Structure 1
């Protein structure tokens, strides 16, 4: 019984383990399936017998974008944790402690340094990036409006130059009817 089971398993694995046959087409073509990320170029076929199929994905990471940058304390680097605890036992001048004379002199410095550190690592840094993007978008709109206005001004200048050189009719003198050719609008009541 064991030999029959072993032979069946061996035959099954022999049939199953043919990956090279799956990659080559019957007419000798090779298929190369590639995953590219972002703006990476798709590799070109090395010869006429190779087919390259590219699948473009936005991101090579499985963790969603909004979960990658977490401000949780567990994600803080050890170097930053050590620096935060460096002044734990400090006393005396320049420290922020209630022990000894001049112990309070470092409190204001600590508060200022802490504020700058929070400002650098805060989530509001992303708001600065969003503001910069919005400014760039608005500048693009302003540039488009300025280009339209410039085009309009140049057209008016070309028209003015053509009138000045006599190539175009002047709207002030172009369609003027001479008084002798004009028809009277109303008869004089005295006549």
Structure 2
């Protein structure tokens, strides 16, 4: 009895595998991203095409309610960000050139550079707010 069941399963195995291959769809040939404005509707996808729609007020695929605006915790940041912050802290603490620090010989030039960058950012801010695009 057991041999008969095993023999029947071995005979049916290639037929089941070919049936599964027939059911697996081929991957999409094209992925189209559409940005909708107003009351537009997402266009239907065709065979071999995937359409991803987004609106101008929510251009991201993650819904706004699920997005986190909090800063990323230090243990979850990449090594590049960690190394950059440690480098900046070390530069300021050591009084290296171009750091705004009261310690060391390069503090004066760094403070001037920081004030100059802040002034330039303030000058750019109002001009970008008043600029309108057609």
Give the TM interval when normalised to the shorter protein.
0.3 to 0.5
TM (norm. structure 1) is 0.31
The one of the two structures with greater contact order (alpha-carbon pairs below 8 A, sep at least 6) is 2
Q: Which has the larger radius of gyration?
A: 1
Give the TM-score taking structure 2 as reference length. 0.40
